[in-house]
Amino acid sequence: MASRTKAFNQMILLPIFLISCFVLLSQCANTEAGEDLVTETCKHTLHFQACVSSLRSVPSSNTTDLKGLAEIALNVSTTEAIKTLSYVHDLKSSDDGDTNNKNGMSSSLNDCDEQYSEAIQNLKDSVEALANGDYNKVNALVSAAMTNAETCQNGFEEMLGDDNDSTSTSTLTQNNRYFSELCSNVLAITKLIV
Ligand SMILES: *[C@@H]1O[C@H](CO)[C@@H](O)[C@H](O)[C@H]1NC(C)=O
Ligand SMILES: *[C@@H]1O[C@H](CO)[C@@H](O)[C@H](O)[C@H]1NC(C)=O
Ligand SMILES: *[C@@H]1O[C@H](CO)[C@@H](O)[C@H](O)[C@H]1NC(C)=O
């Protein structure tokens, strides 16, 4: 009786053991091949494509951990904000020569100038907060940077008024949108750390 039970147990347990090995091995292989940390992390964000392509633009994203990815995500957001601010400056200087276009345009561009300067500062402060492990502060600062971009966009849309066709295709609108996506991704990535 006892030896029959033992034989039965072995019959049952061996396949279970083999299946477990197989599952564990295939998981390992999977992690090494396609499911790297960048892909895995970006699946938890709202803007997967923007997440993957922006993180991959920094080679060290390949070899870092989750907190390192959050820092890279903050860095690429900062770079995007600096790019947008510089574009706003370009628009402002070309606007100065254009007397037809002066009033509404320059006030909404001045607002964007101010908003993006603030956004850059917010993101710089959040790099420090991330280093200190103060994730609530990271969350607050990055949310504020997103609001900065929204405020810029709202003023810009108001300035263009009914001409929403040119609003939605404009470079500034695209920049605002992409920057907001990058910030949203930072928020999602930071949430994974805590
Ligand atoms: C990641 O790094 C490995 C080696 O360190 C390299 O073979 C691979 O191509 C890299 N992948 C990307 C997307 O950079
Ligand atoms: C983020 O940017 C700062 C400042 O440019 C740089 O020192 C740091 O190495 C960057 N971090 C990562 C993870 O790329
Ligand atoms: C553009 O604006 C008009 C009037 O303000 C509105 O009726 C229309 O739905 C808008 N179109 C889009 C694509 O937002």
Average pLDDT of span 48-68: 97
Question: Residue 115 and residue 119: Cα distance in Å, rounded?
Answer: 6
Percent above pLDDT 90 for the chain: 65
State which amino acid sits at residue 103: N
Among protein residues, the one with the nearest Cα to ligand 3's atom 10 is 164
Using alpha carbons only, what angle is made at residue 38 by residues 23 and 135, rounded to the nearest 5 degrees? Answer: 110
Confidence of residue 13 (pLDDT cuts 50, 70, 90): low
d(CA 153, CA 155): 5
Ligand 1 atom nearest to CA at 61: 14
Integer Cα distance of 162 and 158 in angstroms: 8
Which residue has better confidence, 9 or 24? 9
**Tokens matching residue 120:** 């850059």
What value does the CA radius of gyration of the chain take, rounded to a whole number of Å?
25
Predicted confidence (pLDDT) per residue in 146-159, tens digit: 999 999 999 998 88
The whole-number average pLDDT for the span 168-185 is 93
Helix ranges, the chain (H): 2-32, 37-42, 48-56, 66-96, 102-131, 135-160, 164-169, 171-193
pLDDT of residue 94: 82
d(CA 190, CA 129): 11
Q: Among 153, 158, 164, which residue has the most ligand 3 atoms within 8 Å of its CB, making it the best to mutate?
A: 164
Ligand nearest 169 Cα, by number?
A: 3
Question: Atom 7 of ligand 1 has which residue's CA nearest to it?
Answer: 62
Nearest bound ligand to the CA of residue 162: 3
What's the token pair of residue 141?
Answer: 């600062």
pLDDT 10s digits, 69-92: 999 999 999 999 999 999 999 988
Give me ligand 1 centre to Cα 51, in Å.
17
